[in-house]
Amino acid sequence: MLGTSPQGGKSKLPMQGIPQPSREEVLKLPRVHISTHPVMAHKMTLLRNKNTPPPQFYQLVKEIGALLAYESTETLSLESSTIETPLQSTTGYRLAGGIGVTPILRAGLGLAEGFRQVIPDVQVWHLGLRRDEETLQAMEYYNRLPHQVDLQVVYAVDPMLATGGSAIDAINILKRRGIPRLSYLGIIAAPYGLMRLAQAHPDIDIYVAELDEALNDNGYIIPGLGDAGDRQFGTF
Ligand SMILES: O=P(O)(O)OC[C@H]1O[C@H](OP(=O)(O)OP(=O)(O)O)[C@H](O)[C@@H]1O
Ligand SMILES: O=c1cc[nH]c(=O)[nH]1
Ligand SMILES: [Mg+2]
């Protein structure tokens, strides 16, 4: 079992000396889904490149969000109904119940936008969490989650799963709203954060585009892509 805090020892750097699991260990986790699609690998390479400017970076986050939406909704429930084509009656299907997407601000905004391109009638519930870069603890600063909910599933979306603190907190907050089914959708995961999220919330599915090597001593994912919020919104 991993520790619950990224802080430890007497080091000034928050991840220094903290043991991290290997990629192989987290690949054995039962509800972790990592994309194997070649189009995803192509877009991920453009996204990671430090020379990709913010407008193209944001566009890529949206496109990757759409691909992840398609992959992660594969197991959703359907309702059937009879419809008329111009020629005859036939059985049609629609997604059962509502679907919610919670972008973890800021960086989750582009992913949520991509998700909406696949399922335009999702409800979008905004949640602001900011990671303190000294302690790596997430702090909630904005919450627009409705009290009345009747949804089949809610996806918490955030590009970067680093220590896992933000994702664990987001799922805790959503669980308090009584959502029957929750999933996490991200672009890049570090083994450390993925293991912590799966251990804290073994009842959710976790979908990511790629699994990286590790966190550096500052808690940044390597090789990673840098700061996903800054790269989307140009705030370097
Ligand atoms: O797994 P963790 O260690 O919690 O780190 C991941 C979090 O850090 C980033 O957000 P950040 O705090 O930089 O906010 P931003 O989206 O406003 O840039 C990222 O988008 C995640 O929310
Ligand atoms: O590598 C990282 C870690 C946290 N947040 C980011 O945006 N990037
Ligand atoms: Mg950021």
Among the options 48, 131, 196, 231, which is catalytic? Answer: 131
Q: How far apart are CA 115 and CA 179, in angstroms?
A: 19
Q: How far apart are CA 193 and CA 200, in angstroms?
A: 10
* Active site annotation includes 75: no
Q: Ligand 2 atom 3: the closest Cα is on which residue?
A: 220
Q: Are 151 and 105 a contacting pair, CB within 8 Å?
A: no
* Active site annotation includes 230: yes
Q: Read off the pTM.
A: 0.94
Q: How far apart are CA 76 and CA 128, in angstroms?
A: 27
Quote the ipTM score.
0.98
Segments of the chain scoring below 70 in pLDDT:
1-11
Bond preceding residue 131 cis, omega within 30 of 0? no
Report CA(160)–ligand 1 centroid distance (Å): 7
Domains of the chain, CATH where assigned: 32-73+97-233 (3.40.50.2020)
Using most ligand atoms within 8 A of CB, pick from 64, 127, 166 the residue to mutate for ligand 1.
Answer: 166
Q: Is the CB of 104 under 6 A from ligand 1?
A: yes
Q: How far apart are CA 68 and CA 33, in angstroms?
A: 10
Q: CA Rg, the chain, in Å?
A: 18
Residue 189 CA: distances (Å) to CA of 2, 11, 62, 225 = 16, 24, 18, 11
Report the 3 state secondary structure along 134-151: CCCCEEEEEECCCCCCCE
Segment (H or E) for 11: none
Report CA(85)–ligand 3 centroid distance (Å): 48
Q: What is the pLDDT of residue 9?
A: 47
Among the options 23, 135, 177, 181, which is catalytic? Answer: 135
Q: What is the pLDDT of residue 1?
A: 40
